[in-house]
Chains A and B, each alone.
Chain A
Amino acid sequence: MAEGGQDIQGRSLSQIAWRRLRKDKIALAGGFFIVFLIAVAFLAPLITHITGGPPNEYHPDLVDPALGPYGTFGGISWQHPMGVEPITGRDIFSRVLYGARISLLIALLATAVSVFIGTVIGITSGFFGGWVDAVLSRIMDMFLAFPVLVFALALAGVFPDKAFGLSGTPLKLTLLIFVIGFFSWPYIGRIVRGQTISLREREYVEAARSLGAKRPYLLRTEILPNLMAPILVYATLIIPTNILFEAALSFLGVGLPPPTATWGGMLSDAVVYYTLPHFMFWPGLAIFATVMAFNLFGDGLRDAFDPRSSR
């Protein structure tokens, strides 16, 4: 029941969604954590300048090669708030921060790649239907059934050290982004295809078509804007999957070459030192918190955009 004297306003979908999202404290917390993480990753050189120094600097004076870091909790101090690595004495805090840069960079760019491919193929498949849809849908099925991890391991093994005018870390980075992005697009593609099929039969699309609108116009003006919400939601939900995928590849030794700090690589280094659990704890915590934050935010976003969600 509307109270007297209040104007009734028309609201856009995004306005409604934003009002809903604002009330979802957990999703907001996830969102804030993501913003915080991006800020921290961006400012990593500044922050580590104040604390333990660059991520690859050795501090052999801080560790006993046989017993592990001197001091309590893996050598925690004001300078090394998360302690230092066994053997090398590298600062774990700055390695976790620099690892965040790599994880976010790879996950975001890989997601961009998969969103682009997924949207183009999904919209084509849904809008044109018929044999185009049949072929593209089977291709999506094929990609979903592909043993991605095994393929990525094999590819990383046989890929030359120099290609496309790149070598070393930049080449591996590009390779990881494309491998991860190239195999997660069907998730977006299927959603976009389904939405397109339901949208293309709507009255306003029919109306535009009967007024003589051409296909490109229909796609650009009538359908794509209405796909933005599901694309945004599923992109947010793919990011954590990609972070985990990158961590898994680094853990298995086909991620970025050393000494670049990555969370998965740090976990892999820590396995040998299971008697010094702090070494495994911090990169593990970073992966856990980041993936959870993206998942919570993505869930909240979906609830906010989904008109069927009950209050």
Chain B
Amino acid sequence: MRSTRKRAAVALIAVAALGLAAACGTSKSSDSGGGSGPKLNNTALDSVVNASDQKGGTLKMGMGGPWGDSFDPGDTYYGYSWDLGRQYWRTLVMNKVAPGKQGLELVPDIATDLGKSSDGGKTWTYTIQSGLKFEDGTPITSKDIAYGVSRTVDRAVLKQGPSYLADLLNWPASYKGPYKSPKNADISSAIETPDDTTVVFHLKQPFAEFDNIASLPITAPVPAAKDTGAKYTTHPISSGPYMWKGDVDVATGGTLVRNPNWSASTDPNRKALPDQIDVKLGLQADDLDNQIISGDEQVDIAGTGVQPAALPKVLQSKDLSARADNPVIAREWYTQILGTVKPLDNVECRKAVIYAMSPTSYQNAYGGKFAGGEIATTVLPPAIPGYKDSDVYDLKANPNGQVSKAKDALKKCGQPDGFSTTMGYRSSRDKEKKVAEAFQQSLGKVGIKVNIKPMPDDTYTAELCGKPSYDVQNNVGICVFGWGADWNTGYGYLAQIVDSRTINPEGGAPNFAVRVPEVDKMIDQLAVEPDAAKRAEISTQIDQQVMENAYIYPGIYAKAVLLRGKGLTNVFINDAYGYYDYTALGLKQ
């Protein structure tokens, strides 16, 4: 036949290709010997690696993909952005630049001291240093701070930053921010600047942790004359030790050079060691890992740890594991169990879900105990004050789940043969898909049939899992989730995820499931309680209440495998961020 010879040739080539592919497939894998367990160095967790005061050199920082939001201090909500941003902005107070837990302490930055509260916590007053200057030499006054805060009121221009000050301060009802309201609008009911070195905040209700809010970049000074609204991100005016050379682009990055108008004598916190900092964005994440391994780049700004592809290399190589740190982040990957969806309205049915699920398979879904994290047993992660090592459901002792206890709970719930429910996860997140499949597998053993439903990330909280009516109509009883603290206190972590009053019938709140009236009351106490030790105690009680009501399956306390770049000095992890403190880094000369 005509075509036979040609086809034979194709078949031959195909067989040869298969042989090659098979050879490739086998040569990569070797005995990983995971039993011995890799040893990561972890020195930078609580001490300074290569301590040095030597100045000079160019620090090379990179990131896979574009900047998450903005370089504008009023419009950014990513931890890495707050970490790096301190090189070009100063705030009223800041987290101490120090290793480990010491970083959780707040110290004055622009202010001369922490805030003074009066009027039972409804009024907060800060005195700021005189003689500070912006990068162009104009002096920094309290009015620049008031202006910076006032612009965060306009959520249409600055969409992405935290809205705490827009929500907490007693703004005039008609005030819409400096772009839409008249320039000289009276905002003294919210912020007052009686002189150039005093700024006074007036709150609607008492708030105990206001200093934590004053440490967020939304209190960085912004000169009204240089503000370009939504375009300010291309060149935010620096008040810190470095300033952007020309423009900075969210897709490609930019270069930070020394700010001649910053004076070290006014700023005991920042060392400002390198002469220049290159910020390269839009890299390929796996490529960036390789460049950090080889030394071409020094810091992965995103701070979420090496990619799955580089992870085996780091864990198995002596050289690389000696450069690696494995911090616990103030973040938990967990799953919400919705009491509004039958039969999960019965607490015993929710408990059945918790007992049946295998904690190890949750941990494995995120890459195991190094890349993923430790098995969680509470709502609060260990980095938050108020965390107490309790284990209501004996999760740690039963890594593969507890079938008999789950079956008992099902009997008490009146569903001895199990039931059927739907589980949602964010479709672009492979790890969350693995979690959902693990639930399906584990819960199947006790007769709970789980249908998995991938949902688009951008509408997950607004229209799908986070919308109560959608959940009830579609029988969505379980939703995969994760949460990180805005600041490391019980309030900063819990307020958004366990207060039932935050649940919006129209969707959009990060709390999908937790509805306990006692917890709501305790959140109110937490906001006003002036004593930090008592706040921690209340946080512990909230944690316990939520766990006993079985609205949350605690997955893992998140960890990351971070790699210290070659030639870096002064490297340590600041617990306020969960990754390296970028203001401290210097270079070996």
The chain A residues found within 8 Å of chain B, CB to CB, are 24, 26, 56, 58, 60, 63-74, 87-88, 161, 168, 253, 257-259, 269, 272-278, 281, 285, 288, 292, 296, 299, 303, 309-311
B397: Cβ under 8 A from any A Cβ: no
Whole-angstrom CA separation of A206 from B439 in the bound complex: 68
**A275 touching B34, Cβ below 8 Å:** no
Highest count of chain A CB atoms <10 Å: which of B2, B29, B474: B29
**Which residues of A have CB within 8 Å of B26?**
72-73, 278
Pairs across A and B, CB under 8 Å, 17 listed: A26-B8, A64-B32, A66-B34, A66-B368, A67-B34, A69-B29, A87-B364, A87-B365, A161-B422, A168-B451, A253-B454, A259-B452, A272-B308, A275-B308, A277-B24, A281-B22, A309-B1
Highest count of chain B CB atoms <10 Å: which of A68, A253, A288, A292: A68
**A26 touching B25, Cβ below 8 Å:** no
Cβ of B561 to closest chain A Cβ, rounded Å: 8
Q: In the complex, which of the residues A68, A292, A303, A310 contacts B29, with contact meaning CB atoms closer than 8 Å? A: A68
Whole-angstrom CA separation of A87 from B21 in the bound complex: 23
Whole-angstrom CA separation of A253 from B433 in the bound complex: 11
**B441 touching A58, Cβ below 8 Å:** yes
Chain A-chain B contacts (Cβ-Cβ < 8 Å), number? 129
Highest count of chain B CB atoms <10 Å: which of A67, A299, A303: A67
Cβ of B16 to closest chain A Cβ, rounded Å: 13
B170: Cβ under 8 A from any A Cβ: no
The chain B residues found within 8 Å of chain A, CB to CB, are 1-4, 7-8, 11, 14, 18, 21-22, 24-26, 28-32, 34, 308-309, 311-312, 315-316, 358, 360-361, 363-372, 400, 422, 427, 430, 433-434, 436-438, 440-441, 451-454, 474
Shortest 6 CB-CB contacts between residues of A and residues of B: A65-B368, A64-B34, A67-B32, A65-B364, A281-B25, A66-B368
**A296 touching B433, Cβ below 8 Å:** no
Q: In the complex, which of the residues B21, B31, B433, B438 contacts A281, with contact meaning CB atoms closer than 8 Å? A: B21
**Which residues of A have CB within 8 Å of B427?**
253
Cβ of B564 to closest chain A Cβ, rounded Å: 19
Q: In the complex, which of the residues B4, B25, B312, B422 contacts A66, with contact meaning CB atoms closer than 8 Å? A: B312
Highest count of chain B CB atoms <10 Å: which of A272, A273, A275, A299: A275
Whole-angstrom CA separation of A257 from B26 in the bound complex: 30
**B31 touching A72, Cβ below 8 Å:** yes
Cβ of A301 to closest chain B Cβ, rounded Å: 12
**Which residues of B have CB within 8 Å of A71?**
31
**A72 touching B14, Cβ below 8 Å:** no
Cβ of B308 to closest chain A Cβ, rounded Å: 6
Whole-angstrom CA separation of A310 from B3 in the bound complex: 10
Whole-angstrom CA separation of A269 from B358 in the bound complex: 21
Q: In the complex, which of the residues B3, B25, B369, B440 contacts A278, with contact meaning CB atoms closer than 8 Å? A: B25
User: Are A277 and B454 also in contact (CB < 8 A) when A66-B312, A259-B437, A272-B308 are?
Assistant: no
User: Are A74 and B316 also in contact (CB < 8 A) when A64-B32, A258-B437, A275-B308 are?
Assistant: no
**Which residues of B have CB within 8 Å of A296?**
7, 11
**Which residues of B have CB within 8 Å of A88?**
361, 364, 434, 437-438, 441
**Which residues of A have CB within 8 Å of B24?**
277
Cβ of B526 to closest chain A Cβ, rounded Å: 36
**Which residues of A have CB within 8 Å of B34?**
64, 66-67, 70
User: Are A60 and B29 also in contact (CB < 8 A) when A66-B368, A259-B440 are?
Assistant: no
**Which residues of B have CB within 8 Å of A292?**
11, 14
User: Are A277 and B28 also in contact (CB < 8 A) when A60-B361, A258-B440, A259-B437 are?
Assistant: yes
**B25 touching A58, Cβ below 8 Å:** no
B311 — nearest CB in chain A belongs to which residue?
A66
**A66 touching B371, Cβ below 8 Å:** yes
**Which residues of B have CB within 8 Å of A74?**
25, 29
Cβ of A142 to closest chain B Cβ, rounded Å: 30
**A276 touching B29, Cβ below 8 Å:** yes
Q: In the complex, which of the residues B3, B360, B369, B436 contacts A258, with contact meaning CB atoms closer than 8 Å? A: B436
**A70 touching B433, Cβ below 8 Å:** no
Cβ of B312 to closest chain A Cβ, rounded Å: 5
Q: In the complex, which of the residues A26, A58, A275, A285 contacts B361, with contact meaning CB atoms closer than 8 Å? A: A58
Besides the contacts A67-B34, A168-B451, what 4 more A-B pairs have beta carbons closer than 8 Å? A26-B7, A88-B361, A161-B474, A269-B430
Whole-angstrom CA separation of A72 from B22 in the bound complex: 13
**Which residues of A have CB within 8 Å of B14?**
288, 292
**Which residues of B have CB within 8 Å of A257?**
451-453
**Which residues of A have CB within 8 Å of B315?**
66-67
Whole-angstrom CA separation of A63 from B360 in the bound complex: 12
**Which residues of A have CB within 8 Å of B371?**
65-66
Highest count of chain B CB atoms <10 Å: which of A60, A66, A259, A309: A66
**B312 touching A68, Cβ below 8 Å:** yes
**Which residues of B have CB within 8 Å of A67?**
32, 34, 311-312, 315-316
A75 — nearest CB in chain B belongs to which residue?
B29
Cβ of B475 to closest chain A Cβ, rounded Å: 8
Whole-angstrom CA separation of A272 from B363 in the bound complex: 17
**B437 touching A276, Cβ below 8 Å:** no
**B364 touching A303, Cβ below 8 Å:** no
**A70 touching B364, Cβ below 8 Å:** no
Whole-angstrom CA separation of A257 from B425 in the bound complex: 13
Whole-angstrom CA separation of A70 from B422 in the bound complex: 33
User: Are A87 and B434 also in contact (CB < 8 A) when A58-B441, A64-B32, A281-B21 are?
Assistant: yes
Highest count of chain A CB atoms <10 Å: which of B22, B25, B366, B434: B25
Cβ of B364 to closest chain A Cβ, rounded Å: 4
Cβ of B373 to closest chain A Cβ, rounded Å: 11
Q: In the complex, which of the residues A24, A58, A63 contacts B1, with contact meaning CB atoms closer than 8 Å? A: A24
**Which residues of B have CB within 8 Å of A303?**
1-3
**Which residues of A have CB within 8 Å of B309?**
274-275
B10 — nearest CB in chain A belongs to which residue?
A292
Whole-angstrom CA separation of A278 from B363 in the bound complex: 23
Cβ of A138 to closest chain B Cβ, rounded Å: 34
User: Are A277 and B361 also in contact (CB < 8 A) when A58-B441, A161-B474, A303-B3 are?
Assistant: no
Cβ of B403 to closest chain A Cβ, rounded Å: 14
User: Are A64 and B368 also in contact (CB < 8 A) when A26-B7, A70-B32, A73-B25 are?
Assistant: yes
Cβ of A60 to closest chain B Cβ, rounded Å: 6
**A73 touching B434, Cβ below 8 Å:** no
Cβ of A174 to closest chain B Cβ, rounded Å: 16
Whole-angstrom CA separation of A272 from B311 in the bound complex: 13
**Which residues of A have CB within 8 Å of B28?**
275-278
Cβ of B237 to closest chain A Cβ, rounded Å: 42
Whole-angstrom CA separation of A231 from B568 in the bound complex: 71
**A68 touching B441, Cβ below 8 Å:** no
Cβ of B320 to closest chain A Cβ, rounded Å: 13
